[in-house]
Structure 1
Amino acid sequence: MNRTDLVAELAKKSGLLWVSYAGRTHAVWHEWVGDAVCVVAGGSEQPLPDIERHETVMLSLRSKSTRALVAKAKAKVEVVTPESEHWEPVTTALKSGRLNLDDGDHAVERWAGESVVVRLVPTDDISLADQIATTIGHTSPHLTR
């Protein structure tokens, strides 16, 4: 299995992944559609402030069973508008995967008006768990006398 296939497999098996950009990391629910992680954000949906203004983000993918970090992948951000060829398949998948959707019949129209729908398309820049630093650098406190 190549690295891109691994990202797809991990994203398909887990309903949650982490998106990092602008110095912050956000846990998000998503759906894998075609060749991309698809997310709806903003409005009354999950917050991903200004994600549409970024060219790329970093995806962190964990094992569904062990929750261990398996891979990180750089992804290109593509905004999906109602005029896009991707709108129908992406919003259909997001709607079917969205838990506790209060307005199922009107969710897609609401997303078009108040949210942003994005495709996060993984690039070839993928790091596997053994290549990812897992330690956090700390500085020792300096006590004054």
Structure 2
Amino acid sequence: MTTVDLIAELAKKSGLVWISYAQESRPVWHEWVGDAVCVVSGGAEQPLPGIADHQLVTLSLRSKSNRALVAQAEARVEVVTPDSEHWDPITSALKSGRLNLADGDHAIDRWARESLVVRLIPTGEVTLPDQIASALGHTSPRLVL
């Protein structure tokens, strides 16, 4: 199994990933699409202030059952715009996976106007549990609201 396969498997099994950048960590809902963790932020969606200003972030992937940290992975940030070839498959997957979507049929148009859609593409740099500080393995990253 490659490191990208491992990240894909972990991301698909979890409803949340933690994204760390600028010395802050935030839990986000996401969808695995193609080769990346994909998220929508801003507007009425989850906040990820300044994420587009970063080239790399760290993804923390936790067990759905016990929240133990399973792996951390470096990912490259790529903003997806409505004219991108990735826009339709990513926004369709995000819309399908979004719980409690108030404006169902209009969400993708709203995201195009007021939100940011981002692909977080694993670079292949992965840290496994035996390489992660024990305190991180058993606690959630500090939540920033």
Q: Which amino acid aligns with 1:92?
A: S
1:99 — aligned with what?
A: 99
One-letter amino acid matched to 2:91: T
Q: CA offset at residue 4 of structure 1?
A: 1.8
2:25 is equivalent to residue 25 of structure 1: yes
Corresponding residue pairs, total = 136
Note the C-alpha offset of 1:97. Answer: 0.3
Name the CA distance, whole Å, in 2 between partners of 1:135 and 1:103: 40
Cα deviation for residue 70 of structure 1 reads 0.5
Deviations 1:34-91 (A, max 9, x none): 0000000000100000111110100000111221100000000000000000000000
* TM-score with structure 2 setting the length: 0.91
3-state secondary structure, aligned to 2:57: strand
Q: Deviations over 1:10-37 (max 9, x none)?
A: 0001110100000100000000000000
Give the partner amino acid of 2:36.
A
Is 1:12 the counterpart of 2:12 in the alignment?
yes
Q: TM-score if structure 1 supplies the norm length?
A: 0.91
Q: Which amino acid aligns with 1:83?
A: D
Q: Which amino acid aligns with 2:44?
A: S
C-alpha distance in 1, partners of 2:2/2:120? 19
Query: Is 1:113 aligned with 2:109?
Result: no
- Percent identity among equivalent residues? 70
Query: What is the rounded CA distance, in whole Å, between the counterparts of 1:59 and 1:134 in structure 2?
Result: 17
Alpha-carbon distance between aligned partners in 1 of 2:47 and 2:78, rounded to the nearest angstrom: 17
The question of 1:51 aligning with 2:36 is answered: no
What SS does the corresponding residue of 2:135 show, helix, strand or coil?
Answer: coil
- Which letter maps to 2:104? G
Gaps of 5+ in 2: 137-145
Runs of 4+ that moved beyond 3 A: none
Question: In the alignment, which residue of structure 1 is the partner of 2:64?
Answer: 64
- Residue 76 of structure 2 is matched in structure 1 by 76
Q: Which structure has greater helix proportion?
A: 2
Cα distance in 2 for partners of 1:38, 1:125 equals 18
Larger Rg: 1
Q: Unaligned stretches of 5+ in structure 1? A: 137-145
Q: CA deviation at 1:95?
A: 0.2
Q: Name the SS for the 2:101 alignment partner.
A: coil
